Structure 1
Amino acid sequence: EQEVNENSLKRLNGYLENLQKPGFRSFKPTQLTFYVREREPSSSNLQESFSASGFRAVSFTLQTRDLLSTVLDILNSCSLSTEHIQSLNVNSQPNKEAKSTVDRPIKWDRTYYSFTGFKDPEEELEQAQRVETTLISWLDDNEASAVKKLKKSLPLRKELERLKIELSQQLQLSDIRWQRSWGIAHRCSQLHSLGRLVQQRPEVLKNVKGHTVIFTDRSGVSAAGHIMLGTMDVHHHWTKIFERLPNYYKLQKRLLLLEDRISQLLGGIEVIYMEELQPLLTLEEYYESLHSFYNRLRDSRLPFHPRSLRGLQMILESDRYAPSLHEFGHFTIPTVCDPATLQWFIFAKAQEARENLKRKEE
Structure 2
Amino acid sequence: MFGCCRATNRLPWGSLLQKFVFQARPLSGADAVTALRPFYFAVHPDFFGQHPMEREVNENSLKRLNGYLTSLQKPSQKSHKPAQLTFYVRETEPNTMNDPDTIKTTGFRTVHFTLQTRDLLSTVLDILNSCSLSTAHVNTSEVGMESKPHMGTKTAFDRPIKWDKTYYSFTGFKDPEEELEQAQRVETTIIPWLENNQSLANKKLTKSFPLREELERLKNELADQLQLSDIRWQRSWGVAHRCSQLHSLSRLIQQNPETLKMAKGRTLLFTDETGMNASGHVMLGTMDVHHQWAKLFERLSSYTYLERKLLHLQDRISHLLGGIEIVHIEEQQSLLTIEEYYRMLETFYNKLLSSRMPIHPRSLRCLKMILQSDRFAPRLHEMGHYIIPTLCDPASLQWFLLTHSQQARENLKRKEELTFVEQELTTLCKDRSSLSRLYKEPSISCVQMIDCCKRLTEEPLLCLTGMHLCISHYYSVLQDGDLCIPWNWKR
Query: Do Structure 1 and Structure 2 share a fold, with TM-score over 0.5?
Result: yes
Determine helix, strand or coil for the equivalent of 1:311.
coil
**Paired position in structure 1 for 2:384:** 329
Q: Does 1:297 align with 2:352?
A: yes
- Once residues 280 and 133 of structure 1 are traced to their aligned partners in structure 2, the CA distance between those partners, rounded to angstroms, is 33
CA 1:325–1:158: 2 relative to 1, 3 Å: same
CA distance in 1, matches of 2:409, 2:190: 42
Q: Secondary structure at the match of 2:404?
A: helix
Relative distance call for 1:133 and 1:218 in structure 2 (3 A) is closer
Q: Structure 1 residues 178 and 132, CA, compared in 2 at 3 Å: closer, same or farther?
A: closer
CA RMSD of superposed structures (Å): 1.6
Question: What CA distance in whole angstroms lies between the structure 2 residues aligned with 1:355 and 1:320?
Answer: 24
> Deviation of residue 276 (structure 1)?
2.0
Where in structure 2 are the equivalents of 1:7-18 lying within 5 Å? Answer: none
Residue in structure 2 matched with residue 99 of structure 1 by the alignment? none
Q: Is residue 2:316 matched to residue 1:264?
A: no
SS at match of 2:209: helix
TM-score (norm. length: structure 1): 0.62
Aligned residues: 232
AA aligned to 2:251 is R
State whether structure 2 residue 251 is matched by structure 1 residue 191: no
Shift of the alpha carbon at 1:132?
9.4
Which residue of structure 1 lines up, in the alignment, with residue 279 of structure 2? 224
Inter-partner Cα distance in structure 2 for 1:234 and 1:194: 11
- Alignment match of 1:146 (pick from 201, 214, 227): 201
Q: Provide closer, same or farther for how the CA distance between residues 144 and 237 of structure 1 changes in structure 2, counting only shifts above 3 A.
A: same
Q: Is the 8 A contact 2:271 2:284 kept in 1?
A: yes
Measure how far apart 1:137 and its partner are: 2.2
The within-5 A match list for 1:1-362 is: 134-362=189-417
Q: Which amino acid aligns with 1:170?
A: Q
Distance 1:154 1:305, change over 3 A: same
Q: CA deviation at 1:279?
A: 4.1
The question of whether the paired residues in 1 share the 8 Å contact of 2:323 and 2:364 is answered with yes
CA shift at 1:136, angstroms? 2.1
Gaps of 5+ in 1: 1-130
Find the aligned partners of 2:219 and 2:404 in 1 and give their Cα distance: 44
* CA deviation after TM superposition for structure 1 residue 134, in Å: 4.3
Which runs of 5 or more residues in structure 2 are unaligned? Answer: 1-185, 418-491
Structure label with greater radius of gyration: 1
**Structure 2 SS opposite 1:250:** helix
Cα pair distance change 1:167/1:337, threshold 3 Å: same
| Residues 356 and 246 (structure 1), Cα distance of their counterparts in 2 relative to 1, 3 Å cut | same
Structure 1 Cα separation of the partners of residues 404 and 193 of structure 2:
48
The answer (yes or no) to whether the contact 2:277–2:334 under 8 Å persists in 1 is no
The Cα of 1:340 is off from its aligned counterpart by: 0.8
Cα distance in 2 for residues equivalent to 1:326 and 1:355: 11
* 1:314 aligned counterpart, secondary structure: strand
Look up the equivalent residue of 1:348 and give its one-letter code: T
Deviation, 1:280, is 2.2
By relative contact order (CA 8 Å, sep 6+), the higher-ranking structure is: 2
How far 1:234 moved relative to its partner? 0.5
* CA distance, structure 2, for counterparts of residue 279 and residue 332 of structure 1: 15
Task: Determine if contact 2:323/2:361 at 8 Å carries over to the other structure.
Answer: yes
Distance in structure 2 (CA, Å) of the matches to 1:190 and 1:204:
18
Work out the CA distance in 1 between the residues paired with 2:187 and 2:359: 61
